[in-house]
Chains A and B, each alone.
Chain A
Amino acid sequence: MTFTGLIGRLCLYPLQLIIRTCVRLRIHPNVLTFVGVLVNIAAAWALGLGHFVAAGVIMLVANIFDFIDGKVAFELKAVSAFGGFWDSVIDRFSDLALFLGLIYLYATLGRTDYVMVAALAMIFSIMTSYTRARAESLIAKCKVGFMERPERIVLFMIGAFTNRMAGVLWVILVLSVVTVADRIIHTYRELRDDPREAVA
């Protein structure tokens, strides 16, 4: 077993307890999704004030909601197309809030260089989601590239807990640019090799 697989398996035990509790209380998954974004906004607030450890703890709580909403929907047999759409939209707001918190922090410190790094990382993180969503309206699947939302969120938490947010922002920026490029290349290749496209 890989070590990331082992970490995932270890995290699953407490999460299953939370999922079971939510199912027992019959909390609607869309409510969990919405609570997640509110908690993420609180994390962004803490980031903006430079309280990284507090932000890390709040992000951890927020992302429990993000993680369990889909599982609770499945257990409650409440999986719906709107639920998936709602989850995706709310996730983008959560991403934007966290980056905005950092942009505010670096702006108040007068660090325009890191305002730019955070702003570019924010743009490419959103473009990562957009390129996949747009590609999958043209081709069957566009799941290429490393830097997806779970990786971004875990990196944010690592940066917050260990006070290494600058390094984390550089990693998110560079790998998000590469992920967007991967998705463009993949979509181009798929469409180029699609016989229906050749006819059109």
Chain B
Amino acid sequence: MKPAPPLSLPLRVLWNAFFWTYERTTWQYDLMVIAILAFVWLTPPDWLGDPMATGSGPIGWVVGGRR
């Protein structure tokens, strides 16, 4: 395979997150799992228009939304 052209650090981080080649049980995998869980649990169901859950959730409480 031809070597990829050099990228700046932020672009490389973004590309590596997009073009995922990491195995499970690596720190990169842990970081992705934490980001996903944060999105799922912290995003207010109202923001997503969740048909089965209501409320503003932790982020909503922080930004002062009603529960």
Name A residues whose Cβ lies closer than 8 Å to a Cβ of B: 1-5, 8, 50, 52, 105-106, 109, 111, 113-114, 144-146, 150, 155, 158-159, 162-168, 170-171, 175, 178-179, 181-182, 185-186, 189-190, 193
Contacts and interface: CB of A to CB of B under 8 A. Distances in A.
A114 B51 contact: yes
A185 B41 CA distance: 32
A166 B45 contact: yes
Contacts of B7: none
Given A4-B30, A166-B48, A166-B50, A144 B19 contact: yes
B30 A2 contact: yes
Contacts of B49: 113-114, 166
Contacts of A171: 36, 39-40
Interface of B: 1-2, 18-21, 24-27, 29-30, 32-33, 36-37, 39-41, 43, 45, 48-53
Contacts of B29: 2, 4
Majority secondary structure of chain A interface residues (helix, strand, loop or mixed): helix
Point out which of A163, A167, A179 has the most chain B C-beta atoms below 10 A from its C-beta.
A167
Given A2-B29, A4-B25, A162 B41 contact: yes
B25 A158 contact: no
Contacts of A162: 40-41
Nearest to A179: B20
Contact of B30 (A3, A109, A190): A3
14 contacts: A2-B29, A5-B24, A8-B25, A50-B52, A106-B51, A109-B51, A114-B51, A146-B20, A155-B40, A158-B37, A170-B48, A178-B18, A185-B19, A186-B19
